[in-house]
Amino acid sequence: MTELEKGPQGRRRGRGARERILGASRQLFRDQGINRTGMDQLCAVAQVSKRTAYQHFASKDELVTEYLRRFDPGTMSAVFDRPDLAPRERLLAAFELPASGTQELTPMCPYIAAAVELHDPRHPASQYARDYKQAIAARLADTAREAGATHPEQLGEQLALLLDGAAARTRVMNTESFPTAAAIAAVLIDNAIPATTGDEDRSR
Amino acid sequence: MTELEKGPQGRRRGRGARERILGASRQLFRDQGINRTGMDQLCAVAQVSKRTAYQHFASKDELVTEYLRRFDPGTMSAVFDRPDLAPRERLLAAFELPASGTQELTPMCPYIAAAVELHDPRHPASQYARDYKQAIAARLADTAREAGATHPEQLGEQLALLLDGAAARTRVMNTESFPTAAAIAAVLIDNAIPATTGDEDRSR
DNA sequence: CGGTAAGTACACAGGCCGGTGTATATAACG
DNA sequence: CGTTATATACACCGGCCTGTGTACTTACCG
């Protein structure tokens, strides 16, 4: 009993420090925000010593950047790479709530949150947020083109703006706003895709 | 030279402390964000002693709340109370950039910024942000009704979401997004207002 | 088994932050 | 004029923050 019983089961928390840190980041940055989450608390939740954390990430800023980089766990693919859906339906699927079993609100888009909290457009995390958002808009534009939209780039940018609007408004109003965005998206999509040849019901 | 020459002109900064504090808040909270602005710096910019600041505002949270409350200096009226514009044009005017002489970006909507930075929906400032945003949506809905929209409440909420989306996206992308939002708004408005009697070109 | 990489415990530095105490000065008003 | 409300200078507190120094322990891998 010199210095044993470190972990909950007596087992050491061990090797996966980096992943545990990033996991705790995802949880705490979402629940409390970046600025209100101290490194001490973060390390406690991750069950990692502070020293270890700073051996993996030179600074909190670097951790925040990596946190953003590691965020999209196939979220983009899950929406865009669905061969079961027609392009038009894929565009609409981007506005569907993920697993809205409970009455929880869609969590604030972490990219917008980071941009607002860090408040410096030159911060690496802010730059990455910009890149990511641009990639999303490009993906939307590609799908719009696939769907036969007349101005796919424009539609992509419009839909991206709707997604950001829904995220921001959900946060500020404390009310789910994605359905509203989805309704707008439907209008825009139908307006942007010219009356197709033998397509299904477009009258509604 | 006992303790003179306090102010720049030798004149005391004097009575307007509260207003100077709120003025400095508007500047600093916009330029640096709320969390990154300390009370020391704020008082220095406002040319107010810290003691005076805390005699006017019991806490920084209270100052932030009052800062938000005092924000709308007729911004709402400037858009909505314009008898020179038809209701439909008033709706569109909400998306016009204010004095875009320079290439400056539209500053981040302070209500969204506060909601994200404070991160607590129960914070008085967050509550006020919600109220304000709701009032905006209601005003938009009223105008939409006046313009003859079929579902004015829905259109109001949609346009409000567009405004929030433009603000958030301008921030995160560091690119002006209000024109995109305005284009969407035009589509929504035209879609929501049934074909009027002698209206101008609607074909395009 | 032995070496090395990874992790740990813990204290502590230095800075900024929100907020207060105290004693003083000045403007406004009756 | 005298009172009172307003503002000032300035030091200070406790707390939290990011980040580091040091000495130690453990896991893995050849």
CB contacts < 8 A, A to B, total 123
Q: Which amino acid does the sequence have at B75?
A: T
Q: What is the pLDDT of residues B49-86, one digit of tens each?
A: 999 999 999 999 999 999 999 998 778 888 898 989 99
Q: Can you say whether the dihedral through the CA atoms of A102, A105, A111, A113 is positive or negative?
A: negative
Task: Using a 7 Å cut-off to protein CB atoms, list the covered nucleotides of chain D.
Answer: 6-11, 16-23, 25-28
Residues 6+ apart with CB under 8 A from A197: none
pLDDT tens per residue, range A66-101: 999 999 877 887 889 898 999 999 999 999 987 666
Smallest Cα–C1' distance to nucleotide C5: which residue has it?
Answer: A15
Q: What domains can you pick out in chain A, each with its CATH number?
A: 17-58 (1.10.10.60), 75-192 (1.10.357.10)
Q: What CA–CA distance (Å, rounded) separates B7 from B27?
A: 21
Which residues from chain B sit within 8 angstroms of residue A126, using beta carbons? 172
CB-nearest partner of B172 from A111, A157, A177: A111
Contact state of B116 with A111 under an 8 Å Cβ cutoff = no
CA-to-C1' distance for A54 and D21, Å? 13
Local structure of residue A108 (DSSP, 8 states): P
Q: Are A94 and A161 in contact (CB under 8 A)?
A: no
**Cβ(B64)–Cβ(B19) under 8 Å?**
no
Give the integer Cα–Cα distance in Å for B157 and B139. Answer: 10
Q: Which amino acid is at A103?
A: Q
pLDDT reported for residue B47: 95
Please check whether residue A22 is in contact with residue A66, taking contact to mean a CB–CB distance below 8 angstroms.
yes
Kindly state the percentage of chain A with pLDDT values over 90.
Answer: 77
The residue count for chain A: 204
Q: Is any atom of strand D within 7 angstroms of residue B180's beta carbon?
A: no
Summarised one tens digit per residue, pLDDT across range B80-113 is 989 899 999 999 999 998 766 667 899 999 999 9
> What's the rounded Cα separation, in Å, for the pair B153 and A56?
51
Question: How far A140 CA lies from chain B's nearest CA (Å)?
Answer: 15
The answer to whether the CB atoms of B162 and A160 lie below 8 A apart is: no
Q: For the CA atoms of chain A, what is the radius of gyration?
A: 21
B2-52 pLDDT tens trace: 333 333 333 356 778 999 999 999 999 999 999 999 999 999 999 999 999
Q: Tell me the shortest Cα–Cα distance from A98 to chain B, in angstroms.
A: 20
Question: H or E element: which one contains A137?
Answer: helix A124-146
Q: Interhelix angle for B178-192 vs A152-173, to 10°?
A: 90
CA distance A95 to A171: 16
Q: Which two tokens stand for residue A159?
A: 């839909």
CA separation for the pair B4, A165 (Å, rounded)? 53
pLDDT surpassing 60 at residue A200: no
Of A33, A121, A168, the CB nearest to B165: A168
Letter for the amino acid at A171?
A: R
**A15/chain B closest Cα distance in angstroms:** 33
Q: What are the start-end ranges of the H helices in chain A?
A: 17-32, 39-46, 50-56, 60-69, 75-80, 87-93, 110-118, 124-146, 152-173, 178-192
- Phi/psi region, residue A5 (left: phi>0; alpha: psi -120 to 50; beta: rest), is left
Distance of B62 CA from C10 C1′ (whole Å)? 38
Residue carrying structure tokens 């899950």: A78
Contact yes or no for A112/A119 (Cβ under 8 A): no
Q: pLDDT tens digit string along A107-148?
A: 999 999 999 999 999 999 999 999 999 999 999 999 999 999
Nucleotide nearest to B11 (CA to C1'): C26
Identify which of A112, A133, A122 has the alpha carbon closest to the alpha carbon of residue B119: A112
Tens digit of each residue's pLDDT (9 = 90 or more) over A176-191? 999 999 999 999 999 9
For B125, name the nearest residue in chain A, comparing CA atoms only: A172
Instruction: Give the mean pLDDT of chain A.
Output: 89
Mention every residue, 6+ apart, whose C-beta is less than 8 A from residue A50: A39, A40, A43
pLDDT tens per residue across span B116-158 = 999 999 999 999 999 999 999 999 999 999 999 999 999 999 9
| Eight-state DSSP code of residue A46 | H
